[in-house]
């Protein structure tokens, strides 16, 4: 009885959920969805497969969408998904269900966990208490979800009345080139953490400074994890506090620790 939990993360919220889930489901394995693991083409041996991810522009991060699309699976497997978000899951579960339908199966259960929104420089300052409350509640919610996964609970997906509107927002999200608006302050010390933490291998170090390669997922890991807070997005992030999940450390997010 093997459970595989595939997660994608920028600022650690999804990783924290995935780690708590692994702890609650003995024997479960964690696999990071990142460029280095995109060569995983099949999982036909797991009894349960879960996807843990942040919602981006009302839907799935592109890398999560592409990973599921490419994955050869066994249609007898129990599939579950856990979305986390600042607002709500929107079309992300329906998107997974569609991808699974193409493989003659379906999303058996879906769960949502509100977490601190990591695009917070867009709507800064965010109430800190709300962030702390969400972070504190997450562990309890994950435990409840684990109990449901253990017994393979089925949760029917409801249609979404705002589907078309959300889909349009999702379609307008083209992350590859969004890194063109990233720039680096003078205080960058060339430590290379931004390059190591990028799940898309989108940062090359040149003359001890990051250079973005325009294959961005827009996960914001580089901005939020830079220890010098040197990376900016346009003028929007200037002098604004960064965020990462308080229970996750920088090295845990680095893909090099999770290549399988
Ligand atoms: C590019 C981007 C788009 C986002 N879009 C949404 C959204 O449409 N709806 C929402 O509720 N949260 C949105 N968020 C917030 C994240 O889903 C949320 O902060 C999540 O917990 C981050 O997870 P992580 O720490 O694992 O990266 C967005 C974040 C990013 C970086
Ligand atoms: S993490 Fe920050 S300080 Fe380190 S190289 Fe990248 S931008 Fe510079
Ligand atoms: S360049 Fe930055 S925002 Fe883009 S995928 Fe890499 S870590 Fe994420």
Q: Do 134 and 198 belong to one domain?
A: no
Residue ranges in the chain whose pLDDT is less than 70: 123, 257-260
| pLDDT, position 128 | 83
Give the model's pLDDT for residue 260. Answer: 59
Q: Is 88 in the pocket of ligand 1 (CB under 6 A)?
A: yes
pLDDT for 127: 75
- What ligand has the least distance to the C-alpha of 226? 2
Of the three residues 120, 137, 166, the one that is the final residue of a domain is 166
Domain that holds residue 205: 175-257
Q: What residue's CA is closest to ligand 2, atom 6?
A: 194
Cβ atoms 83, 55 nearer than 8 A? yes
| Ligand 3 pocket list (CB less than 6 A) | 10, 179, 198-200, 202-203, 212, 216-222
Closest residue by CA, ligand 3 atom 4: 216
The reply to whether ligand 2 has any atom less than 6 angstroms from the CB of 189 is yes
Same domain, 144 and 44: yes
The pLDDT assigned to 188 comes to 98
Residue whose CA is at the smallest distance from ligand 2 atom 8:
188
Q: How far is the CA of 201 from the centre of ligand 3 (A)?
A: 8
Give the CATH number of the domain where residue 213 resides: 3.30.70.20
Tell me, yes or no, whether 221 and 102 share the same domain.
Answer: no
Whole-number Å distance, alpha carbon 189 to ligand 2 midpoint, is 6
Q: Which atom, in ligand 2's list, is nearest to the CA of 189?
A: 3
Cross-strand partners of 84 = 54, 113
Q: What total of structural domains would you count in the chain?
A: 2
Whichever domain contains 86, its CATH number is: 3.40.50.360
The protein residue whose alpha carbon is closest to atom 4 in ligand 2 is: 191
Question: What's the pLDDT at 48?
Answer: 98
Verify that 158 and 86 share a domain, yes or no.
yes
Q: Is residue 54 domain-shared with residue 27, that is, in the same domain? A: yes
- Together in a domain, 236 and 199: yes
Q: From the CB of 58, is ligand 1 less than 6 Å away?
A: yes
Looking at the structure, do residues 29 and 133 belong to the same domain, yes or no? Answer: yes
Shared-domain flag, residues 63 and 191: no
Q: Ligand 2: which atom is nearest the Cα of residue 225?
A: 1
Is the distance from the beta carbon of residue 188 to the nearest atom of ligand 2 less than 6 Å?
yes
Same domain, 161 and 207: no
Amino acid 112: pLDDT: 98
End residue of a domain, out of 166, 194, 216? 166
Q: What is the pLDDT of residue 256?
A: 79
Q: Are 151 and 98 part of one and the same domain?
A: yes
* Shared domain check, 242 and 118: no
Q: How far is the CA of 33 from the centre of ligand 3 (A)?
A: 14
At which of 141, 166, 191 does a domain end? 166
Do 140 and 15 fall into the same domain? yes
- What pLDDT is stored for residue 124 in this prediction? 73
């Amino acid at each position: 009885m093997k459970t595989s939990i595939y997660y994608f993360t920028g600022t650690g919220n999804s990783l924290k959920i995935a780690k708590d889930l692994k702890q609650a489901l003995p024997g479960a394995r964690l696999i990071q969805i990142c460029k280095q693991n995109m060569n995983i083409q099949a999982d036909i041996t797991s009894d349960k497969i879960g996807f843990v991810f942040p919602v981006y522009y009302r839907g799935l991060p592109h890398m999560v969408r592409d990973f599921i699309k490419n994955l050869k699976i066994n249609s007898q497997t129990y599939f579950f998904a856990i979305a986390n978000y600042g607002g709500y899951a929107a079309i992300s579960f329906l998107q997974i269900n569609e991808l699974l339908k193409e493989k003659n199966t379906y999303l058996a259960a879906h769960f949502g966990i509100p977490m601190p929104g990591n695009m917070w420089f867009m709507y800064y300052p965010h109430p800190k208490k709300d962030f702390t409350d969400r972070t504190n509640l997450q562990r309890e919610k994950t435990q409840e979800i684990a109990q449901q996964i253990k017994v393979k609970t089925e949760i029917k997906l409801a249609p979404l009345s705002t589907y078309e509107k959300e889909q349009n927002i999702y379609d307008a999200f083209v992350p590859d080139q969004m890194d063109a608006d990233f720039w680096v302050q003078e205080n960058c010390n060339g430590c290379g953490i931004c390059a190591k933490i990028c799940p898309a291998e989108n940062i090359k170090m040149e003359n001890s400074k990051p250079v973005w390669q325009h294959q961005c997922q827009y996960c914001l890991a580089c901005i939020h994890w830079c220890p010098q807070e040197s990376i900016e997005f346009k003028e929007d992030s200037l002098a604004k506090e960064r965020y990462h999940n308080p229970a996750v450390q920088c090295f845990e997010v680095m893909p090099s620790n999770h290549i399988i």
